[in-house]
C-alpha cells in the first residue's frame, strides 16, 4: 500500500496524540486515582498504535502496544501509579516522539527500544496492590462539586440574614444589546446595589464581569432590607438596561434542589471520578477535533471574502436606489449571511495560546528534575487568542526564557529555605490582551537579576562604556543581558548560559513586531514581559467621525465616552483640560492633530473619548461617535510603517478603509 | 535573433501631464481605476492615503506631487498603478496608463544631464522610440524612505 500521501496527515495526527499523552500523563501524576485520565491516555495510545501499524512503522506500533498494555493494567487497577512508573511512561512517550520526528524528517521510525520495552513489561507484570482509597476520595470530591454554585459559607450568610429579617434576592440584570461599555454598566449596577445591601455572589464572577466576559445578562445573590420593587426601580435608573428580574431567594428551596440533582447525577455518573476535571478535559479534547487548513488558503479566503463585502456594499446601495422591495429583501438577507460568514472567517485564524503553553509543564518538570530544583508552574490566560502566525513563532523564545528562569532564576531548595522562601519555586506564565497587543509574562520568584554584576560584566565585555553605564535606568541595565555576547551565569550549563540565547529571543520577538521588557528585584524574582502585536487579529473598536473621516479607537484603551460643553474646558498652562470625575484630564483635539479639513461649525457640545495609558488619562475630542464594532487590524503597509498616532487600518463593512488610532502615542 | 528578443524590456507606459513615463512590467501588480482613498494624517503631501485593494490596505502616492508637478483633478482616465518594490506595495496615481510596449535595451540612454537636477535621481534613463520619448523610472528611488523624510523636513 502506498502510504506516502497519508504521511503528512499521519505525522500531524501522531503529534496531536503525543501531546495528549504528555499532557494527560502530567495530570495523572497529580491525580493517580483518576480513571478517566487513564482512559483518555489509553485511547490516544490505541489510535496511535493503529495508525502506525497501518503505515507500516512496526517499532512505533510495537512500543505503543506495550504502552497500551501498561495503561490497560493501570485501568484494571493492577498497577499502582507512582513517580517511578510515570518516569518510565514519560521515557516511553519520549521515544515515541523521537520516532515520529524521525519519520517526519524522512526516516523509517526505527529505533532501539528494547530497554524501555523491558521496563514497560516489568511494570505491567508487577501485580501490585490495588488502590483502595479511590472510592473514599471521590465521594468527598463529589460533595464539594455540588455545592460549587453557592458554597457553604455563602449559604450560612444567606440563612443568617433571613433570620435577622433581611430578604435574600436573586437578581438577574439584562443589558441592552447595543450597550457599549458593558463593564461600566455592571459597575454602576453594583454601585447601586451596594448602597442598598450586600452582594453575596455574582454569576459570572466579578472579574469576568469586569472583563466583559458575559453575554447580555448576569445574576447576583443579594441581601437587603428594601422591597423588591424598590430594588428593581433603583437598578433601572442605570441606563442601557433592558430588564431587571428580582426574585426572592430561598435557601431551603435551593438546598432541596441541590439534594435532588445530586441524587440524579449520582445515578448517572457513578463510574466517573472527579467530575470537574473529567468533563473539562473531555470538552476540551472535543473542541480540538480539527481539520487542518493551510494558512495561505485562509488568507486567500479572507481576501476573497473582503472583495465580496465591497460588492455587497454596492448591491445594498443599488437596492436602495432602485427601491425594489424583493431585491432589497434579498440583499438584506445576503448581508446577514455574509456577516456571519465574516465572523467565522476571522476567528478561524485565531488560536488560543494554550497550544504553546501546553508543552511547558512537562518541560519544566523535566528540567527541574535534572537541575534538582523544585519548581511549580502556574498558567494564566491560556485561552488568550493570537494569530496563528504569531503562535508558530513564539514557542521557541518562550522555551528559552523558561529554561533561563529555571536555571538562573529559581534557587536550589536548600538555598530557598535559608532565604526564608518556600522550598518550591514558582514560575508564572500569564497571557492577556491589552490594547492592540497581547502580553505574555514569565515571572519567577527566584534570585532576580544582580544589577551590579550585569553592569560590571557589560563593561568588561565592552558592550557599554563607563559614561553610558551611569545614565542607564534599572530596566535598561536588565535589558543588557539580552545584548549579544552576554552571559551572567558563572558556569556554563547545558540548559542555558551561553549568552547566545537571549539576544536570539529578543530578535525573534522584534521580528514579530513585538517588544520585550525585563523587570527584576534582587532575591524576589524577575519578570520578562513580552508585548506582541495582534497582527491580523480582531479587536473591538469604537468608530468615531472627524468631519467626513472615520477612525477607530481600540475599546481596550477607552475608559468612557462623554459629552461636554465648551464652557467646561479649562486652561492650565496653555493646555486645555477638563475636570473629569474629580481628575484633571488634558484634552487632545483630534481634528487639529490629524489636520482634518474642517468646515467651521462650532458646536457648543463636544464629544470626548477618555483614553488611558497606564495611570494617565487623556480626553480625545472627536466630532461624533458611530458605534462599537469588531474589526480586523491590518497594517498600513511597509511604506507607511511609521505614521504618527496611527497603529494600523481596518476595512469597514462597506469596503472603506478606516484608520486605527494608537491612543498611547497621544498621551504624554 | 534570440539575443535581440532577450534584450527587450517590457514596460508599462503611463502619462503625467504631457510626458510619458515607463516602469517595468515585472514591478507592476495591477492597474486600477480610481477608488475611494482614505487620507492618512501627518504624512508627506504626495502620500494621498490608503485604499482597500482586495482586502489589502495599500498606500497610494500621487506621482504628480511626488515629482513636484502641479496637482490635477482626477478624471475618467486617472489610474492607480500598483507596484511592488522590495517588500513594499504601493499604488501610484497617474493621469493615464494605456500601453504595454517592448523597448530594446539598446535604445535606453542615461538621463540627459540637462534635466539631471537634484530631484531627478529617480530617472533611470530615457528611451526614444520613433517620435515618443519615454522616461524610465527607478521605482526604488521614487519610494525610498530617505526621500520622504527629506521632503518632510523641507516642509517643516
Tell which residue, A532, A511, A538, has the closest CA to residue A302: A538
Residue A225 located in a structural domain:
yes
- The strand ranges marked E within A381-477 are 385-387, 425-434, 437-444
Q: Which residues of chain B have a CB within 8 Å of the CB of A651?
A: 52, 55, 57
Q: pLDDT tens for residues A412-460?
A: 888 888 888 888 888 899 998 876 678 899 998 888 888 888 888 888 8
Q: Say yes or no: A521 and A572 in one domain.
A: no
d(CA B150, CA A272): 72
Residues B11/B22, Cβ–Cβ less than 8 Å: yes
pLDDT at B93: 93
Q: What percent of chain A has pLDDT over 70?
A: 83
Contact A310 B42 (CB under 8 A): no
Residue among A16, A40, A68, A430 flagged as catalytic: A68
C-alpha cell at A154: 455563602
Domains in chain B with CATH codes: 2-147 (2.40.50.180)
* CATH number of domain containing A461: 3.30.565.10
Number of neighbours of residue A489 by Cβ within 10 angstroms: 14
pLDDT at A258: 67
C-alpha cell at A364: 519544566
Radius of gyration of chain A (CA): 30
* CATH number of domain containing A99: 1.20.120.160
The residue-averaged pLDDT of B122-127 equals 84
Q: Say yes or no: A398 and A511 in one domain.
A: yes
Q: Say yes or no: A384 and A522 in one domain.
A: yes
Q: pLDDT tens for residues B41-58?
A: 888 888 899 998 877 889
- The strand ranges marked E within chain B are 8-16, 19-24, 28-33, 47-53, 56-62, 79-85, 88-94, 96-104, 108-109, 123-129, 132-137
> What number of residues does chain A have?
668
Q: pLDDT tens for residues A265-318?
A: 555 554 444 444 444 444 444 445 667 777 778 878 877 876 677 677 678 778
Domain tally, chain A: 5
Active site residue A404: yes
C-alpha cell at A110: 526505527
Q: Say yes or no: A419 and A520 in one domain.
A: yes
Residues B27/B83, Cβ–Cβ less than 8 Å: yes
Residue A74's domain comprises 4-125
Interface test with A, best of B40, B42, B55 (most A CBs within 10 A): B55
d(CA A319, CA A555): 33
Q: Say yes or no: A120 and A241 in one domain.
A: no
| Burial grade of B23 (CB within 10 A; 0-12, 13-18, 19 or more) | buried
Q: pLDDT tens for residues A161-195?
A: 777 777 788 888 888 777 777 777 787 888 888 87
Q: Say yes or no: A395 and A455 in one domain.
A: yes
Residues pairing with A631 in the sheet: A539
Residue A555 located in a structural domain:
yes
Active site residue A46: yes
Interface test with B, best of A639, A645, A659 (most B CBs within 10 A): A639
Q: How far is CA A8 from CA A100, A105, A278, A418, in A?
A: 11, 11, 31, 53
Contact B47 A640 (CB under 8 A): yes
pLDDT at A289: 65
Residue A566 located in a structural domain:
yes
Q: Say yes or no: A428 and A378 in one domain.
A: yes
Pick from A92, A125, A158: which residue ends a domain?
A125
Residue A52 located in a structural domain:
yes
pLDDT at B1: 44
- Weakest-pLDDT range from A54-68, A480-494, B110-124: A480-494
Give the range with max mean pLDDT: A47-56, A401-410, A561-570, B108-117: A561-570
d(CA A66, CA A118): 9
At B92, is the secondary structure helix, strand, or coil?
strand
Peptide bond into A221 cis (omega under 30): no
Q: Say yes or no: A467 and A380 in one domain.
A: yes
Residue among A46, A65, A226, A400 flagged as catalytic: A46
Higher pLDDT, A570 or A72: A570
Q: Is A270's Cβ below 8 Å from some Cβ in B?
A: no
pLDDT at B62: 92
pLDDT at A583: 86
Q: Say yes or no: A590 and A565 in one domain.
A: yes
- For B57, the closest chain A residue by CA position comes to A636
Contact A646 B40 (CB under 8 A): yes
Contact B38 A659 (CB under 8 A): yes
Residue A285 located in a structural domain:
no
Pick from A507, A533, A559: which residue ends a domain?
A533
| Segment A488-496 long-range contacts (CB within 8 Å, at least 24 positions apart) | A488/A408, A488/A449, A488/A450, A488/A453, A488/A454, A488/A457, A489/A407, A489/A408, A493/A407, A495/A367, A495/A370, A495/A371, A495/A403, A495/A406, A495/A407, A496/A400, A496/A403, A496/A404, A496/A407, A496/A408
Interface test with A, best of B51, B57, B63, B149 (most A CBs within 10 A): B57
pLDDT of residue B75 exceeding 60:
yes
Residue A281 located in a structural domain:
no
Instruction: For chains A and B, count residue pairs whose Cβ atoms are closer than 8 Å.
Output: 83
pLDDT at A498: 43
At A4, is the secondary structure helix, strand, or coil?
helix
Q: Rounded to the nearest 10 degrees, what angle do helices A58-76 and A35-55 cross at?
A: 160
Measured in angstroms, the CA of A307 and the nearest CA of chain B are apart by 5
Q: pLDDT tens for residues A102-161?
A: 887 777 777 777 777 777 777 777 644 333 333 333 333 333 333 346 666 777 777 777
Q: How far is CA A337 from CA A78, A299, A319, A331, A557, in A?
A: 56, 20, 17, 10, 31
Contact B59 A595 (CB under 8 A): no
Residue A262 located in a structural domain:
no
Q: In chain A, what is the straight-line distance between the N-terminal and C-terminal CA atoms, in Å? A: 68
- Strands A549-554 and A657-661 come out as parallel
Measured in angstroms, the CA of B123 and the nearest CA of chain A are apart by 20
Q: Is A300's Cβ below 8 Å from some Cβ in B?
A: no
Residue A274 located in a structural domain:
no
Of B42, B51, B87, the CB nearest to A657: B51
d(CA B153, CA B145): 12
Q: Is A635's Cβ below 8 Å from some Cβ in B?
A: yes
Radius of gyration of chain B (CA): 16
Residues pairing with B128 in the sheet: B133
Q: Say yes or no: A527 and A413 in one domain.
A: yes
- Residue A552 pLDDT level (bands cut at 50, 70, 90): very high
Q: Say yes or no: A378 and A466 in one domain.
A: yes
Q: How far is CA A127 from CA A57, A87, A115, A119, B144, in A?
A: 31, 18, 20, 14, 76
Measured in angstroms, the CA of B38 and the nearest CA of chain A are apart by 6
**Cβ-Cβ contacts under 8 Å for A314 (sequence gap 6 or more):** none
pTM score, two decimals?
A: 0.48
Q: Say yes or no: A303 and A341 in one domain.
A: yes
Interface test with A, best of B30, B39, B50, B151 (most A CBs within 10 A): B50
> What number of residues does chain B have?
156
Category of A524 on φ-ψ map: left (φ > 0), alpha (ψ -120 to 50) or beta: alpha
pLDDT of residue A491 exceeding 50:
no
d(CA A141, CA A139): 5
pLDDT of residue A536 exceeding 60:
no
pLDDT at B83: 93
* CATH number of domain containing A165: 3.30.70.1110
Tell which residue, A645, A433, A668, has the closest CA to residue A553: A645
- Residue B17 pLDDT level (bands cut at 50, 70, 90): confident
Q: pLDDT tens for residues B85-97?
A: 887 889 999 999 9
Q: Is A140's Cβ below 8 Å from some Cβ in B?
A: no
* CATH number of domain containing A640: 2.40.50.180
Q: Which residues of chain B have a CB within 8 Å of the CB of A305?
A: 55
DSSP letter (8 states) at residue A238: S
Number of neighbours of residue A645 by Cβ within 10 angstroms: 18
Pick from A303, A320, A349: which residue ends a domain?
A349
d(CA A426, CA A223): 39
pLDDT of residue A240 exceeding 80:
no
User: Which ranges constitute the DSSP H helices of A323-387?
Assistant: 325-348, 354-357, 360-370
Mean pLDDT of chain A: 77
Higher pLDDT, A240 or B13: B13
The residue-averaged pLDDT of A349-362 equals 82
Contact A639 B54 (CB under 8 A): no
DSSP state string for A264-296 = HHHHHTSS--SHHHHHHHHHHHHHT------HH
Q: Which residues of chain A have a CB within 8 Å of the CB of B57?
A: 634-637, 648-649, 651, 657
Give the range with max mean pLDDT: A173-182, A204-213, A313-322, A621-630: A621-630
d(CA A542, CA A212): 15
ipTM of the complex: 0.81
Category of B54 on φ-ψ map: left (φ > 0), alpha (ψ -120 to 50) or beta: left
d(CA A345, CA A297): 11
Q: Which residues of chain A have a CB within 8 Å of the CB of B36?
A: 656
- For A632, the closest chain B residue by CA position comes to B55
pLDDT at A163: 72
Amino acid at each position: 500500500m502506498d502510504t506516502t500521501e497519508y504521511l503528512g496527515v499521519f505525522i500531524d495526527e501522531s503529534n496531536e496524540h503525543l501531546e495528549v499523552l504528555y499532557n494527560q500523563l502530567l495530570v495523572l501524576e497529580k491525580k493517580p486515582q483518576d480513571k478517566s485520565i487513564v482512559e483518555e491516555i489509553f485511547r490516544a495510545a490505541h489510535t496511535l498504535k493503529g495508525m502506525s501499524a497501518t503505515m507500516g512503522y512496526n517499532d512505533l506500533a510495537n512500543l505503543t502496544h506495550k504502552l497500551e498494555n501498561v495503561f490497560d493494567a493501570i485501568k484494571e487497577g493492577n498497577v499502582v501509579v507512582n513517580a517511578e512508573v510515570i518516569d518510565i511512561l514519560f521515557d516511553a512517550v519520549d521515544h515515541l516522539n523521537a520516532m515520529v520526528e524521525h519519520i517526519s524528517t524522512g526516516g523509517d521510525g526505527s529505533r532501539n527500544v528494547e530497554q524501555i520495552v523491558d521496563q514497560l513489561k516489568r511494570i505491567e507484570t508487577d501485580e501490585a496492590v490495588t488502590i483502595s482509597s479511590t472510592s473514599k476520595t471521590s465521594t468527598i470530591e463529589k460533595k464539594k462539586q455540588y455545592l460549587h454554585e453557592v458554597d457553604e459559607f455563602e449559604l450560612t450568610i444567606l440563612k443568617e440574614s433571613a433570620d435577622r429579617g433581611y430578604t435574600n434576592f436573586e437578581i438577574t440584570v439584562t443589558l441592552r444589546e447595543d450597550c457599549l461599555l458593558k463593564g461600566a454598566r455592571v459597575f454602576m449596577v453594583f454601585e447601586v446595589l451596594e448602597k442598598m445591601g450586600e452582594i453575596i455572589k455574582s454569576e459570572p464572577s466579578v472579574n469576568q464581569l469586569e472583563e466583559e466576559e458575559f453575554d447580555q445578562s448576569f445574576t447576583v445573590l443579594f441581601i437587603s432590607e428594601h422591597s423588591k420593587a424598590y430594588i428593581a426601580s433603583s437598578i433601572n435608573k442605570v441606563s442601557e438596561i433592558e430588564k431587571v428580574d428580582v426574585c426572592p431567594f430561598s435557601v431551603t428551596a435551593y438546598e432541596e434542589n441541590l439534594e435532588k440533582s445530586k441524587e440524579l447525577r449520582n445515578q448517572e455518573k457513578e463510574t466517573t471520578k472527579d467530575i470537574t476535571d473529567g468533563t473539562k478535559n473531555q470538552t476540551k479534547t472535543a473542541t480540538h477535533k480539527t481539520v487542518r487548513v493551510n494558512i495561505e488558503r485562509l488568507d486567500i479566503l479572507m481576501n476573497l471574502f473582503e472583495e465580496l463585502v465591497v460588492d455587497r456594499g454596492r448591491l445594498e446601495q443599488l437596492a436602495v436606489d432602485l427601491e425594489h422591495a424583493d431585491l432589497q429583501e434579498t440583499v438584506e438577507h445576503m448581508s446577514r449571511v455574509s456577516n456571519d460568514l465574516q465572523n467565522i472567517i476571522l476567528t478561524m485564524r485565531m488560536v488560543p495560546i494554550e497550544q504553546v503553553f501546553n508543552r511547558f509543564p512537562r518541560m519544566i518538570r523535566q528540567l527541574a528534575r535534572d537541575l534538582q530544583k523544585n519548581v511549580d508552574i502556574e498558567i494564566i490566560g491560556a485561552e488568550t487568542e493570537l494569530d496563528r502566525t504569531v503562535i508558530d513563532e513564539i514557542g521557541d523564545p518562550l522555551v528559552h526564557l523558561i529554561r533561563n528562569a529555571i536555571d538562573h532564576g529559581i534557587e536550589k531548595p536548600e538555598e530557598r529555605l535559608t532565604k526564608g522562601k518556600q522550598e518550591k519555586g514558582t514560575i508564572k506564565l500569564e497571557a492577556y490582551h491589552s490594547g492592540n497587543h497581547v502580553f505574555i509574562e514569565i515571572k519567577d520568584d527566584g534570585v532576580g537579576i544582580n544589577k551590579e554584576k550585569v553592569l560590571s560584566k557589560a563593561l568588561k565585555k565592552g558592550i557599554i562604556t563607563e559614561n553610558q553605564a551611569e545614565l542607564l535606568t534599572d530596566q535598561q541595565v536588565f535589558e543588557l543581558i539580552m545584548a549579544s555576547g552576554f552571559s551572567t551565569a558563572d558556569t556554563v550549563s547545558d540548559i542555558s548560559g551561553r549568552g547566545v540565547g537571549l539576544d536570539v529571543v529578543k530578535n525573534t520577538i522584534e521580528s514579530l513586531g513585538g517588544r520585550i521588557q525585563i523587570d527584576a528585584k534582587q532575591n524576589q524574582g524577575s519578570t520578562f514581559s513580552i508585548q506582541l502585536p495582534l497582527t491580523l487579529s480582531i479587536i473591538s473598536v469604537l468608530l468615531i467621525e472627524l468631519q467626513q473621516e472615520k477612525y477607530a479607537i481600540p475599546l481596550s484603551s477607552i475608559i468612557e465616552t462623554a459629552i461636554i460643553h465648551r464652557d467646561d474646558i479649562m486652561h492650565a498652562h496653555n493646555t486645555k483640560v477638563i475636570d473629569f470625575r474629580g481628575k484633571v484630564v488634558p484634552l487632545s483635539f483630534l481634528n487639529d492633530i490629524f489636520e482634518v479639513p474642517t468646515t467651521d461649525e462650532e458646536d457648543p457640545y463636544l464629544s470626548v473619548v477618555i483614553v488611558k495609558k497606564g495611570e494617565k488619562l487623556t480626553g480625545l475630542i472627536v466630532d461624533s461617535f458611530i458605534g462599537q464594532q469588531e474589526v480586523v487590524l491590518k497594517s498600513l503597509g511597509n511604506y507607511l510603517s511609521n505614521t504618527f498616532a496611527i497603529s494600523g487600518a481596518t476595512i469597514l463593512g462597506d469596503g472603506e478603509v478606516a484608520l486605527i488610532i494608537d491612543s498611547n502615542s497621544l498621551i504624554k | 535573433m534570440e539575443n535581440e528578443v532577450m534584450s527587450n524590456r517590457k514596460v508599462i507606459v503611463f502619462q503625467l501631464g504631457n510626458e510619458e513615463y515607463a516602469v517595468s512590467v515585472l514591478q507592476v501588480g495591477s492597474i486600477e481605476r480610481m477608488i475611494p482613498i482614505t487620507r492618512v494624517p501627518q504624512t508627506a503631501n504626495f502620500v494621498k492615503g490608503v485604499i482597500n485593494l482586495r482586502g489589502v490596505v495599500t498606500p497610494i502616492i500621487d506621482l504628480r506631487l511626488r515629482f513636484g508637478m502641479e496637482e490635477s483633478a482626477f478624471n475618467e482616465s486617472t489610474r492607480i498603478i500598483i507596484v511592488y518594490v522590495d517588500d513594499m506595495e504601493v499604488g501610484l496615481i497617474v493621469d493615464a496608463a494605456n500601453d504595454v510596449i517592448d523597448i530594446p535595451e539598446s535604445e535606453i540612454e542615461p538621463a540627459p544631464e540637462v534635466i539631471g537636477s537634484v530631484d531627478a535621481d529617480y530617472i533611470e534613463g530615457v528611451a526614444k522610440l520613433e517620435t515618443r520619448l519615454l522616461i524610465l523610472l527607478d521605482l526604488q528611488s521614487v519610494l525610498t524612505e530617505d526621500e520622504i523624510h527629506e521632503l518632510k523636513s523641507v516642509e517643516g
